């Protein structure tokens, strides 16, 4: 099965921790999305419910007539008390800076009132497995977020979450994977292509 993971286009809020904070796509973000999907043919589109991903996925499904499924497990990580704030503002407060550094270093650390990376990986893993057990789908486009894409790669490729920061996933980044399940039911994948916007 081919799975294409597409991070939504830019919202113009680079540097913000926008998890559940949900700004719409900017015009540049819409352009990124259209460029990354113009030559694709997918039998199904799966989307995060957040408007910056969902609006573009709905537009694509409407234009092409393919099926659309909105899956809350593909939502971005909930940054809790940091959600919507600029990373640089958080780093300017020593106590918060230490917690933010720990948050990126340890998958079990969560922001206050938010999720940990381990929480995110657990729900994205469920979402990936639901796709893999649908054999009639030859190709699926997933419109989601940077954190969710990292969690999907950790699940499919076995990469530790700590190492996923070595892969840059700008808004509008498109990753193509061949994926499946082994005889034991374990997921596997290989990256076929990465297209940065």
Spatial distance between the Cα atoms of 68 and 18, rounded to a whole number of angstroms: 24
Neighbour count for residue 22 (Cβ, 10 Å): 18
Spatial distance between the Cα atoms of 29 and 52, rounded to a whole number of angstroms: 9
Residue 35: its pLDDT value, please?
96
Q: Which two tokens stand for residue 76?
A: 């971005």
- Whether 76 is catalytic is yes
8, 145, 155, 174: which is the annotated catalytic residue? 8
- Whether 174 is catalytic is no
- For 24, what's the count of Cα atoms within 13 Å in the CB-facing half-sphere? 5
pLDDT in tens, the chain (197 residues): 999 999 999 999 999 999 999 999 999 999 999 999 998 889 899 999 999 999 999 999 999 999 999 999 999 999 999 999 999 999 999 989 999 999 988 889 998 899 999 999 999 999 999 999 986 778 999 999 999 999 999 999 999 877 888 899 999 999 999 999 999 989 999 999 999 98
Spatial distance between the Cα atoms of 189 and 180, rounded to a whole number of angstroms: 6
Question: Does 3.40.50.300 match the CATH number of domain 2-195?
Answer: no
Residue 5: its pLDDT value, please?
98
pTM of the model: 0.95
Domain boundaries, the chain: 2-195
Q: Which of 150, 102, 106, 105 is nearest to 124 (CA)?
A: 150
Q: Which two tokens stand for residue 171?
A: 């808004």
Residue 165: its pLDDT value, please?
80
16, 76, 115, 155: which is the annotated catalytic residue? 76
Residue 161: its pLDDT value, please?
77
β 187-195/174-181 pair status: antiparallel
């Amino acid at each position: 099965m081919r799975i294409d993971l597409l991070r939504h286009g830019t919202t113009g809020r680079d540097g913000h921790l926008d998890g559940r904070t949900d700004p719409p796509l900017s015009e540049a973000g819409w352009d990124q999305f259209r460029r990354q999907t113009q030559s694709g043919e997918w039998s199904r589109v799966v989307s995060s419910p957040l408007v910056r991903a969902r609006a573009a996925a709905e537009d694509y499904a409407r234009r092409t007539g393919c099926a659309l499924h909105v899956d809350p497990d593909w939502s971005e990580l909930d940054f809790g008390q940091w959600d919507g704030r600029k990373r640089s503002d958080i780093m300017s407060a020593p106590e918060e800076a230490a917690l933010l550094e720990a948050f990126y270093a340890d998958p079990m650390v969560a922001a206050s009132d938010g999720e940990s990376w381990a929480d995110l990986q657990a729900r994205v893993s469920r979402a990936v497995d639901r796709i893999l057990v649908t054999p009639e789908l030859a190709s699926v486009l997933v419109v989601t977020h940077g954190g969710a894409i990292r969690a999907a790669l950790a699940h499919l490729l076995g990469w530790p979450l700590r190492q996923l920061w070595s892969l840059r996933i700008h808004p509008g980044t498109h990753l193509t994977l061949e994926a499946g399940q082994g005889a034991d039911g374990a997921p596997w994948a290989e990256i076929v292509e990465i297209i940065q916007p």
